[in-house]
Amino acid sequence: MSFTRPILIAGAGIGGLSLALLLARKGVSTVLVERALRIEEVGAGIQLSPNASRILDRLGLGPALDEAGVQPARIRLIDGKTGTPLTQIPLGFDAERRWGAPYRLIHRAALQQILASAVQKADIDLRLGTELVDCAATAKGVVAHLRSPNIDESFGAGALVGADGVRSSVRTGMGDANVGFSGQIAWRATVHLPTALEANVWLGPGAHLVTYPIDRNGMLNMVAVTRGNEASGGWSQTGSRAELMSWFASWSPQVRRLLEAADTWLTWPLYNGRPAKIGEGRVTLIGDAAHPVLPHLAQGAGLAIEDAAVLAARLEEFPDDPATAFRAYENERASRTAAVQNASRRNGEIFRLSGAAAFARDTVLRVLGPERLMARYDWVYGYRAR
Ligand SMILES: Cc1cc2nc3c(=O)[nH]c(=O)nc-3n(C[C@H](O)[C@H](O)[C@H](O)COP(=O)(O)OP(=O)(O)OC[C@H]3O[C@@H](n4cnc5c(N)ncnc54)[C@H](O)[C@@H]3O)c2cc1C
């Protein structure tokens, strides 16, 4: 491609790292700036569904992901009050056969490390401890104000991609600081508790719990979702276990034992916003910066990786014109990201039904059966970036 100046990517999360790798493959040089001094992640797991795995596998990362993570045999949906299994979505070999790539569970830190070492091997200019403060458009690109512990500099780039997460400075710079708090908070913990190779979603009134192994050494990831307010469910703060247990007071002993197994729970406010605009001129957004999504379909990182693949493809298509490439990318992604956001929100509502509505849900789940349930996810997991 013929960009004379590099593309600046703000944020080396899953989206930013994936984009830098995908662009390196197309010969586009990038500078990736990350505010944190180290590439590291909160101690928690992540589900990588086939739509995301397909792109990471194309980058040659499949073997490393399989070495560090696991491929679950199924996702089971369970009545959280009684502990009765309702149905299951077959994964493992069935997922790979149906959707063309594996469904994986992995520790976030391991995923970040795998992406970061691939970035290092590809000789990508990754600048840790460097924050994008703001940026201004010029005739031929952007000038970004970068700040690191020792220097403030003006950096000229051909274009800017904000991969800087839910609280994106790039999005704020385009006038949209509000990201839409959902009224829900996630409680996250990991604990050494060997279990079967499967993800379990425990459904119940007003709350739900997701548990899954993230390695072969018995590390279990747990995410509980309850209502909460943005301030009390602070960003990665330690939550009160007593408060968490109060949401699950009348649930099955199995669920309560799982929750009691973890000493520390971190809380995260959950967002579900749709910014007024995700790009202008030679600036665009990917991942949570563009479309924060509730985790009830486990698709936020998947969408960020898909965004990266589509954006890289459009930049390849319009090599001399990043603004056109960015608008094409934004148009292409709008309906997909909105559909996943909506489906994630709906999933959460369905997980937390009570009374007659919960009874109807359980009946439908039983009647549908595994094969028809799998078919319902074809549009999510079968997605292929053009
Ligand atoms: C409880 C929970 C469970 C989830 N489970 C799943 C799951 O199972 N599967 C899934 O696919 N998704 C899941 N997600 C969603 C997923 O974690 C996110 O969607 C994904 O991490 C977003 O990646 P990103 O690269 O867009 O942003 P981030 O991961 O937030 O990365 C943004 C990066 O930008 C940096 N940064 C911020 N501002 C600046 C700046 N001004 N200058 C430089 N750097 C900056 C930050 O330090 C950070 O490193 C879950 C989310 C939650 C909350």
What pLDDT does 240 receive?
A: 86
Question: ∠89-339-75 over CA atoms, to 5°?
Answer: 15
What does the pLDDT read at residue 235? 58
Å from CA of 95 to ligand 1 middle: 25
Query: For residue range 63-72, what is the model confidence (pLDDT) as tens digits?
Result: 999 999 999 9
Give residue 238's pLDDT: 77
At 39 the pLDDT is 87
The pTM for the full model equals 0.97
d(CA 34, CA 16): 9
For tokens 């909160």, name the residue.
Answer: 42
Q: Would you say the CB of residue 15 lies under 6 angstroms from ligand 1?
A: yes
- Domain 7-68+104-179+273-345 sits in CATH 3.30.300.30: no
Q: Which of 8, 33, 46 most suits a substitution to test ligand 1, by most atoms within 8 Å of the C-beta?
A: 46
What is the predicted pLDDT for the residue at 236? Answer: 59
Catalytic residue positions, numbered: 212
Q: Angle between the 14-25 and 108-121 helix axes, to the nearest 10 degrees?
A: 30
Map out the domains of the chain as residue ranges: 7-68+104-179+273-345, 181-271+352-378
Ligand 1 and 31: CB distance under 6 A: no
Class of domain 181-271+352-378: alpha beta
Count of residues making up the chain: 386
Q: How many angstroms does the Cα of residue 291 sit away from the middle of ligand 1?
A: 11
- CA 270 to CA 183: how far, in whole Å? 7
Dump pLDDT digits (tens) for 104-142. Answer: 999 999 999 999 999 999 999 999 999 999 999 988 899
Sort residue 373 into left (φ over 0), alpha (ψ -120 to 50) or beta: alpha
Does the beta carbon of 69 lie inside 6 Å of ligand 1? no
- Ligand 1 and 298: CB distance under 6 A: yes
Residue with the smallest CA separation from ligand 1 atom 49 is: 13
Q: Is the dihedral of CA 355, 357, 361, 364 positive or negative?
A: positive
Task: Quickly state the pLDDT bin for 230 (edges 50, 70, 90).
Answer: confident
Dihedral (C-alpha) 92, 93, 97, 102: value to the nearest 10 degrees? 40
Over residues 271-295, the pLDDT tens digits come to 998 998 999 999 999 999 999 999 9
